[in-house]
Amino acid sequence: DTEVTQTPKHLVMGMTNKKSLKCEQHMGHRAMYWYKQKAKKPPELMFVYSYEKLSINESVPSRFSPECPNSSLLNLHLHALQPEDSALYLCASSQDHPGAASGNTIYFGEGSWLTVV
């Protein structure tokens, strides 16, 4: 069982809709991540938050807007998405930021399956 909780598990949205994906962890982790995974492909990093500040944005289009309201919560706001944005969106967390000392295991949530129609 994962300690990173993501909602909703499934989301279908139109190209003009605005929706949000939510992620929560109560492990006291200070780094949180959004990854995108297409079928039969590895997860691709989108954003990294470290101590509630955005530390990495992998040149993600502005139609994806991350938000970190506090150290336990991470949101991904979605607006004007395209059908090719349909994918599994994975939230993850780790004790410290990725460049910290070794032993920084990343824990993934079960993901949100997004379909854009």
Partner 1 sequence: GQQVMQIPQYQHVQEGEDFTTYCNSSTTLSNIQWYKQRPGGHPVFLIQLVKSGEVKKQKRLTFQFGEAKKNSSLHITATQTTDVGTYFCAGLGFQKLVFGTGTRLLVSP
Say how many residues touch partner 1, by CB under 8 A. Answer: 25
Give Cβ neighbours of residue 49 (< 8 Å, ≥ 6 apart).
31, 32, 33, 55, 66, 68, 74
Is 75 a residue that touches partner 1 (CB under 8 A)?
Answer: no
Q: How far apart are the first and last CA of the chain?
A: 31
Give 13 or 108: the residue with its C-beta nearer to partner 1.
108
Of residues 12, 27, 99, 115, which one binds partner 1 by CB under 8 A? 99
CB of 43 to partner 1, least distance (A): 5
